[in-house]
Amino acid sequence: MTDKVTAPKIRAMKKRGERIVSVTAYDATFGAMADEAGVDLILVGDSVGNVMLGYDTTVPVTLDQIVHHTKATRAGVSRALLVADLPFGSYQVSTAQAMESAICLMKAGADAVKLEGNYSEAIKAMVRAGIPVMGHVGMTPQSVNKFGGFRVQGRGEAADQVVDDAKAIDDAGVFSMVLELVPAELAKVISAEVGAPTIGIGAGPECDGQIQVLHDVLGLSPKVHKHAKRYVSGHECLVDGLRQYSEEVRSSAFPEEKHSF
């Protein structure tokens, strides 16, 4: 699997009916593992704030932090498309601000950027400048304070707003879009109506692809979300390894002669 994934290739996968596999990563070690596993798209998500930096939300995450994690992840990823998230406050002020932030992330090594919500003018400007853009509609975590919590969006009459946002960013030229925490039936409708591949998280099986937060897939946190599946009991496995190491140091079982010089 040495053929580099590009934004046009991700778009073409929808036409061929091939499911797109995406996961987040925040550093070289895990980026390399996701790449080795054959994941198509790796997102340096602003979820780094929640899962790596201990924040309650993604709101405090800065552009400098995403630049730092993008450089680190780039070092481990060669095949997958590497997408960097534009954090809260780095694109909402103006199209010029959005452009400058997106350029920073591309110079840090991203192949594409992602932003939340219907910022069609900014998306058009980036696409015009040669920057592939991934959209994100439905539950957009940077707006958690407006939503009043991490809640499913687009139920009942609110569905129209999500459909309108998805169509607007599709028209603006996104190469793909995340649909987060929306009813499966709504995600199915949007997936049929937009040209860009839909990448779901908590949006049912009818999206063109799926994205998950690395820590959820690997079970690195003891918490299990309804929209996620733990493929490895990472937390238990790693704590167990660290316990064994602690015991062996305390009992002088480690290091052995073979570990010494």
Residue 180 is among the residues annotated as catalytic for this protein: yes
Question: Could you say whether residue 178 binds ligand KIV (CB under 6 A)?
Answer: yes
Q: Which is nearer to ligand KIV, 24 or 65 (CB)?
A: 24
Q: Which of 180, 185, 236, 256 is catalytic?
A: 180
Comparing CA positions, the residue from 91, 90, 31 lying closest to residue 64 is 90
- Among 181, 213, 218, 220, interactor with ligand KIV by CB under 6 A: 213
Looking at the chain, the number of H-run helices and the number of E-run strands are 11, 8
Q: Which is nearer to ligand KIV, 186 or 213 (CB)?
A: 213
Q: How do strand 209-212 and strand 41-44 relate by DSSP bridges?
A: unpaired
Q: How far is the CB of 138 from ligand KIV (least distance, A)?
A: 10
**Distance between CA 165 and CA 72 in Å, rounded?**
32
Q: Which is nearer to ligand KIV, 14 or 227 (CB)?
A: 227
* Amino acid code (one letter) for 116: E
Could you tell me where the DSSP H helices lie in the chain? 7-16, 28-36, 48-51, 63-74, 95-107, 120-128, 144-147, 159-172, 184-193, 214-217, 234-250
- 177 has which bridge partners? 135, 198
- Among 10, 11, 34, 47, interactor with ligand KIV by CB under 6 A: 47
Question: Could you say whether residue 211 binds ligand KIV (CB under 6 A)?
Answer: yes
- Among 31, 45, 132, 234, interactor with ligand KIV by CB under 6 A: 45
**C-beta of residue 80 within 8 angstroms of C-beta of residue 42:** yes
Q: How far is the CB of 149 from ligand KIV (least distance, A)?
A: 16
- Among 27, 35, 40, 85, interactor with ligand KIV by CB under 6 A: 85
List of residues contacting ligand KIV (CB under 6 A): 24, 43, 45-47, 85, 136, 178, 180, 201, 211, 213
The residues that are catalytic are: 180
